[in-house]
Chains A and B, each alone.
Chain A
Amino acid sequence: MSDNVEKYIKRNVNKGINSRIAQKFVDAGLEVMRSCINCGTCTGGCPSGRRTAYRTRSAIRRALTGDESVLSDIDIWLCSTCYYCYERCPRNIPVTDMIIKLRNIAVEEGYILDPHFSLANDIFYVTGHGVPANGEANKKWQDLRESYGLPPLPPTVHTHPEAVKEVQELLKSVGFTELMENAAKLKGERAKKEEKKEEVK
């Protein structure tokens, strides 16, 4: 019996823990994922899993066992970060944080959806807001503010150009801009490969 445990169970668990993605979790201080018993409590309370193919348990399992397709799968972007899995995990694993980290790894490897890339690169980096109201194109939002007795633009980055520069400097300094450039490059290369495959067909 104990031989079987050794042969069929322990071996797979070890393989899981040594996967490349698992190592990234460990590096990020999330070695607690080793205690996942794949019980499915996370999936059971997941409001996204009720209506999509996203299965938290499966995403975590795939990550730990080195199934890298989990990174390119849109499923990990369907978690609304409601934190029920985090709260209810009987092994105290911060499951939602694991999904967030998994997304970080995906972006690092160039798996980022177009609308997310544009939100990060063209909106947040440029304006300092995730949902901006500045510029001529956003005139109606400025008018709306005024109609409720507020100045046309809030006292945020929108009225402090030097603050936008500060944000951009920090994003450069911490490697955000580089990360986005790299993601765009990897994404582009992948798209080209796909195109070639189509041509060959």
Chain B
Amino acid sequence: MNQENQWRYGFFLGCVAPNRYPMIESSIRAVFDHLGAELLELEGAACCPAPGVFRAFHIPSWLIIAARNISIAEELGVSPLTGCNGCYGTLRDAWFEMEHEPHLKKMVNEHLAKIGRKYKGNLEPKHVVQALYLDMGIEYLRDHVKHKFKDLKVAVHYGCHILKPSDKRPWDGEYENPTFLDEIVELTGAKSINYQDKFMCCGAGGAVRTAVKEVSADFTREKLANIREAGADIIIDVCPFCHLQLDLGQMEANGVYKNMIGEPFKTPVIYLTQLLGLSFGIDPNKLGLIKNHNLAGVPPFISIDPFMEIVKEQLI
């Protein structure tokens, strides 16, 4: 099997990346194409459905819609691939549960039969970072690095569901102190700095953002204060919903907790494949880093200009 056949995935978009942060979708497509991996479209895929809300309302509904999404990739004979921790949580947990509990698989297929679909199983849902780190490997990525940052301090934010529940994840049970994401980030010459409570949740998930936005913003406030304290130039994340919370939520925290934080936060938030793509020498236009519109009220809400200045100084 040649490499291109080996790295074929069904690109599961989810909601937040395609519908609110399309720069993330663009950058994943550009980087995977550059690495010789093929992303097939999952035509007609729905919301994963989001694990903190829809699973919390009705577990069987969550499982069945997730199974339908996975079955679209099965028809193409590929693993679903997602760049979102929430979608990853849903697709992977649903897959894991159905692989281990035959009665769930049976129940799901009774419903899917009504729309002429079938869930077979076996095809493991993967995260973009999992494909990069475990399928392709750090050495393969290193071979593609063209430009290196000379001085860029990065606060890496893993998010929760890429790591946990650890018994359903591919990281050998490691969730307290993983390093895979830091290793990928540091390929670019950037330094992944340590900061207090690095693995803390962004605050968006679990239906909390929809329930009480101020509580979400308070998680974010604490996170951002720790990141600023450590002297980070940028935040790197691997989840569009964390991304939304760290970007839009950063603005909200600046408003709601104005009196607590002193100077407003202004740390640019960059998705992993945007950073990696720059280092590979991919056109920043393809990585969603250049604004080509006059729309108001769209992301990024926290300016990424300071980061682009660093890019100009150090990479070009």
Contact = CB atoms under 8 A, between A and B. Distances in A.
Given A129-B46, A140-B295, A119 B22 contact: no
Interface residues of B, number: 71
Nearest to B51: A81
B215 A103 contact: no
Contacts of B13: 154-156
Summarize B's interface: helix, strand, loop or mixed. loop
A32 interface: no
Given A47-B200, A167-B65, A174-B111, A115 B58 contact: no
Nearest to A134: B19
Summarize A's interface: helix, strand, loop or mixed. helix
A78 B211 contact: yes
Which size bracket describes the interface of A in this complex? 35 or more
A94 interface: yes
Contacts of A100: 55-56, 59
Nearest to B19: A133
Interface stretch (B140-148, B159-167, B180-188, B262-270): B159-167
Interface string B175-209: 10000000000000000000000001101111110
Contacts of B292: 147-148
Given A79-B206, A80-B205, A176-B61, A157 B45 contact: yes
Contacts of B166: 87
Interface in B51-78: 51-61, 64-65, 68
A144 interface: yes
A129 B210 contact: no
Nearest to A115: B210
A13 interface: no
Contact of B44 (A80, A94, A116, A157): A157
A149 B27 CA distance: 11
Between A84, A162, A164, the greatest number of chain B beta carbons within 10 A of the residue's beta carbon is seen for: A84
A82 B111 contact: no
A160 B59 contact: no
B68 A175 contact: no
B25 A150 contact: yes
Given A47-B200, A154-B19, A170-B114, A104 B210 contact: no
B288 A128 contact: no
Contact of A77 (B59, B61, B165, B207): B207
Contact of A116 (B112, B207, B296): B207
A106 B125 CA distance: 30
Contacts of A138: 19
B293 A160 contact: no
A83 B169 CA distance: 13
B112 A170 contact: yes
B55 to A, nearest CB: 6
A48 B208 contact: yes
A131 B15 contact: yes
A144 B53 contact: no
Contacts of B16: 131
Contacts of A193: none
Interface string A54-98: 000000000000000000001001111111101100000010100
A20 interface: no
B151 interface: no
A11 B26 CA distance: 61
A52 interface: yes
Contacts of B200: 47, 82
B298 A144 contact: yes
B208 A77 contact: yes
Given A115-B210, A156-B45, A170-B64, A81 B52 contact: yes
Given A87-B166, A174-B111, A82 B205 contact: yes
A118 to B, nearest CB: 9
A173 interface: yes
Given A47-B219, A130-B50, A145 B57 contact: no
B54 A141 contact: no
B297 interface: yes
Interface string B240-259: 00000000000000000000
B50 A155 contact: no
12 contacts: A87-B175, A103-B207, A116-B211, A132-B15, A133-B18, A148-B26, A156-B45, A156-B46, A167-B68, A170-B114, A174-B111, A176-B61
Given A96-B165, A148-B25, A166-B44, 12 more contacts: A47-B219, A81-B52, A82-B160, A83-B164, A103-B207, A120-B53, A131-B16, A141-B20, A155-B13, A163-B44, A173-B64, A173-B111
Give the 8 A-B CB pairs with smallest separation, nearest first: A163-B44, A83-B164, A81-B206, A133-B19, A160-B44, A154-B18, A147-B293, A80-B206
